[in-house]
Amino acid sequence: MTVIAFDADDTLWVNEPHFQAVEQQFCKMLEEFIPAHTVARELFATELQNMPLYGFGAKAFMLSMVETAIRISDGRIPSNSLLRVLDLGRSLLEHSIELLPGVVEVLENLQPRYRLVVATKGDLLDQERKLRRSGLEKYFHHIEVMSDKQEADFDRLIRHLDISPSEFWMIGNSLKSDILPVLALGGNAIHIPFHTTWAYEKIDAQVDHPRFRTVDSILEVLNVLPDHG
């Protein structure tokens, strides 16, 4: 049976704009020490350095903000400002879930015909919380929260689902994390670009592959997937 896997953040619901809004506030807070654009660059460098330890998600982002604030201020940042940084991070964990247009319609259409899966990365507790608050749990046969999205991660998922790569379709907004690893394994992939993309996920690549499609919205997925379940 064909399995359709969906990325979560910025595929099923809005995510990156919340992170960008928090980052802008953080950079403005630190302007007394260095220019805002330099704060943003330093924060991203800290995130990259911390990924092997913290992984992805709001909590990792919060820790990187705290570390960056202390470093660029040479430890001079007031404790109340650090508390404000923590509040910014907490807001990422508490914001309401905004489903992207067409998501419910697509899931309701596909669920009777396919096995549906969430394949996302980030903090396990946070992603489970967002999925629960989204009201979408009922549509999915399996939820997979990965520490990363490399070929090996998708290979483990496909083996766990007991299917061949050719029976696996991945739908997501990141060419780097959702599309290229799956194509490399022999799976199928549909790219739905989102209007904002985290710098880490940006790649300068054109994908030309027989098992790859790009669509403008999740509703167009219905015209791309095979007719049988």
DSSP state, residue 195: S
Higher per-residue pLDDT: 159 or 227? 159
For the chain, the maximum distance between any two Cα atoms, rounded to a whole number of angstroms, is 62
Using the predicted structure, report yes or no on whether residue 205 has a pLDDT greater than 90.
no
Q: Which of 135, 54, 154 minimizes the C-alpha distance to 96?
A: 135
Mean pLDDT (the chain) is: 92
CB 203 within 8 A of CB 175: yes
Q: Which residues contact 13 (CB under 8 A, 6 or more apart)?
A: 97, 98, 99, 100, 103, 130, 134
**H-type alpha helices, 103-203:** 103-110, 124-134, 151-161, 180-185
Look at phi and psi of residue 96 and say left if phi exceeds 0, alpha if psi is from -120 to 50, else beta.
beta
Element at 29 (helix H, strand E):
helix 16-29
Q: What are the φ/ψ torsions at residue 19 (nearest 5 degrees)?
A: -65, -40
Q: What are the φ/ψ torsions at residue 43 (nearest 5 degrees)?
A: -65, -45
pLDDT tens digits, one per residue of 11-43: 999 999 999 999 999 999 999 999 999 999 999
| Residue 41 to residue 22: CA distance in whole angstroms | 15
pLDDT band at 55; cut points 50, 70, 90? confident
Walk me through the domains of the chain, giving residue ranges and CATH numbers.
3-13+97-223 (3.40.50.1000), 16-94 (1.10.150.240)
Element at 81 (helix H, strand E):
helix 79-94
pLDDT tens digits, one per residue of 102-149: 999 999 999 999 999 999 998 888 899 999 999 999 999 999 998 889
Give the pLDDT mean for 49-62: 91
Question: What pLDDT shows up at residue 200?
Answer: 60
Residue 112 CB-density burial (10 A; 0-12 exposed, 13-18 middle, 19+ buried): exposed
3-state class (DSSP) for residue 28: helix
Using the predicted structure, report yes or no on whether residue 227 has a pLDDT greater than 80.
no
3-state class (DSSP) for residue 145: strand
What is the reported pTM?
Answer: 0.89
**Residue written as tokens 């090996």?**
152
Question: What pLDDT shows up at residue 44?
Answer: 94
Distances (CA, A) of 117 to 18, 35, 140, 217: 24, 43, 5, 19
Question: What pLDDT shows up at residue 221?
Answer: 95
Using the predicted structure, report yes or no on whether residue 61 has a pLDDT greater than 80.
yes
Question: What pLDDT shows up at residue 5?
Answer: 97
Residue 171 CB-density burial (10 A; 0-12 exposed, 13-18 middle, 19+ buried): buried
